[in-house]
Amino acid sequence: MPAAVALVPLSNGSAPATQPAQPTRTEPSASGQGSGQASTASASAPPAPTPPPPAPPINSAASVITVIQQLDPRDIAGDQGGEAADTQSLAERQQQEREATPTNARQPTSNPALLTASEREIVQQLRSRDAAVRTEEESHQTLAGANAGMISYSYTAGPDGRLYATGGKVSIHPLQGLDGIAAIANQAAISRAASVPGSSAADFNVAKGASMNISAMISAQAYAAAESYRATIGLNAAPSAIDLRG
């Protein structure tokens, strides 16, 4: 906390010394009798006291008094509050200018404090859409297994300058060279991958096509199994000639 410091030296003057007592002088009188009385009075007077020694001088360089002036904390807080008010006023003015600007002419800003209420709502919607799209496409990729390719996203720029995924797709390439149960299981995986919650109409068309492929494969396998059974019991052999006699 700022403070002002002042150094005030003390006075280096010596204490006033006690003036020595002046001896009493007796003027001689004209008569010898007066002179004798004065000499007798002087001889009988007590001696004057010895004056005290003078006080030592004070070292002015070492004897100082430090005066600290404490600033009022309310003054400092008031200055900081004024700066905060100025900053807040600037942000409010910038936000008001942004609200007055047409929507199609506004530039993206990374400062959330400058976003209008409608822009904050748009950002929240874009965040929710981004999370839903990523969850859906990752589910497609996981369920499709070895049939799935890479995920590709389409993005939309928000008022805050960030890109949000608003669409996506996973390329599906069915495995080739499979037959029987393996082929049916592969088509079933594709159907499940295209039927996750939130799938689009195109995804449901893929699931429908996989289901139709499964039905066709099951029918073909059933027919092949029936033909194999018929051949086993000889139902497919040509009938022999029968003679009818009367």
Measured from the Cβ of residue 224, the count of other Cβ atoms closer than 10 Å reads: 11
pTM of the model: 0.52
Q: Report the percentage of the chain scoring pLDDT > 70.
A: 60
Q: What is d(CA 133, CA 152) in angstroms, rounded to the nearest whole number?
A: 11
Beta strand 148-157 with 163-172 is antiparallel
Highest mean pLDDT among 15-24, 42-51, 135-144: 135-144
Q: What is the pLDDT of residue 55?
A: 61
Q: What is d(CA 164, CA 131) in angstroms, rounded to the nearest whole number?
A: 9
Q: For the chain, what is the radius of gyration of the CA atoms?
A: 58
Task: With a cut of 80, say whether residue 229 has pLDDT above it.
Answer: yes
